[in-house]
Amino acid sequence: MAEQKTILKALAGETQAVPPVWMMRQAGRYLPEYRATRAKAGDFLSLCYNPELAAEVTLQPIRRYGFDAAILFADILLVPQALGADLWFVTGEGPRLSTFTGSDDLGKLGPADDIHETLSSIYETVNILTRELPKETTLIGFAGAPWTVATYMIAGRGTPDQGPAHKLMQEDIATFEALLDKITEATILYLSAQIDAGAEVIKLFDSWAGSLQGDTFAKYAVAPTKRIIAALKEKHPNTPIIAFPREAGDGYIGFAKATGADCVALDNSVTPEWGAKHVQVDGCVQGNLASRHMVSGGQALIDETKQIVKAFGNGPHIFNLGHGITPDADPDNVQVMLDAIRG
């Protein structure tokens, strides 16, 4: 059955008349059934760490829409929590972490090898999903890329320009690189365990890669991704990996070859025509409908969906949004998008 899964066909380089499709954050607050399950869990982190409920919200968009892939419900900041950082979520504002400010904080982080005790329930969620997902649906595991995770750890929250991380990089590069190294080690172990539990594809989210330029992009976006992929491929050579260096611009060009990724996900700051010309030439691409269309809908949603399918139609393509679906999205617009893709 694995050979018949459309996502795996695309990741193996096959061009398909109808591209497979899933959405980033497809299990989320735009769905009433998700909101009901989250209320049952009590809070976001409790939902992440409850295998039965986390599996349930992962399955909800599959039942409703029949996406070609399900992505594990978790959060990229569970890795720093497993390393010893304090993590909590503020309603309406997002995550907060104990702030990593310098070399003294390195000693407060535990060994990468110790993360599995904290994250064992995530692996159990993967186990449940391998049993409960439809046989034709691909299961995607994921983690945040080291740079993006570090930006949250250093600032203690999301920031518009990742300024605190850039400041630490400039003022104490040894500590900054030691932190990235620690995150990279933990991420390799975390993703390998997800694969052992049943994840068929891995995705690396480098949501803030766009704030790295020139040499820093090569050092802190490309190099850690390459290291993670090489380690995973050594142990799991048949597991495809999708890399998402969001807003990388020209950095998307050659990213697959530089890192070993099987697919590069594109955000909607680049056009699909540009992506086909400069990125799809190296293999599978994923993307890249603007998330706003899930809110506004209408003919523009249909037209841009069809434009993306056409632009990427001559090579391997996984249809997705250019970023995650937002809580104010209309669930009906998701079906409109799927109908436009699948005819």
Q: Are 206 and 148 in contact (CB under 8 A)?
A: yes
Q: Is 38 a catalytic residue?
A: yes
Token pair 């003294």 is found at 104
Q: Considering only CA atoms, which of 62, 58, 25, 59 is closest in space to residue 205?
A: 25
Query: Tokens in use for 296?
Result: 């506004």
**One-letter amino acid of 309:** V
How many Cβ atoms are within 10 Å of 315's Cβ, its own excluded?
Answer: 18
- Catalytic annotation on 246? no
What does the alpha-carbon distance between residue 65 and residue 58 come to, in Å, rounded to a whole number? 12
Looking at residue 180, its amino acid is L
CA Rg, the chain, in Å?
Answer: 19
User: If 0-12 CB within 10 Å is exposed, 13-18 middle and 19+ buried, where does residue 179 land?
Assistant: buried
Of these residues, 35, 38, 64, 292, which one is catalytic? 38
Among residues 30, 34, 65, 152, the one annotated as catalytic is 152
Burial class of 298 by CB neighbour count within 10 A (0 to 12, 13 to 18, 19+) = exposed
Q: Which is the catalytic residue, given 29, 96, 157, 292?
A: 29
CA atoms within 13 A on the CB side of 144: 21
Residue 252 among the catalytic residues: no
Question: How does DSSP assign 13-74, residue by residue?
Answer: T---SS--B--TT-SSTTSHHHHHHHHHHSSHHHHHT-HHHHHHHHHHHHHHH--SEEE---
Residue from 34, 49, 68, 75 carrying the catalytic annotation: 75
Q: Which of 25, 65, 68, 190 is catalytic?
A: 25
Q: At what angle do helices 51-65 and 115-132 cross, to 10 degrees?
A: 40
Query: How, if at all, do strands 138-144 and 284-289 pair?
Result: unpaired
Residues classed as catalytic: 25, 29, 38, 75, 152
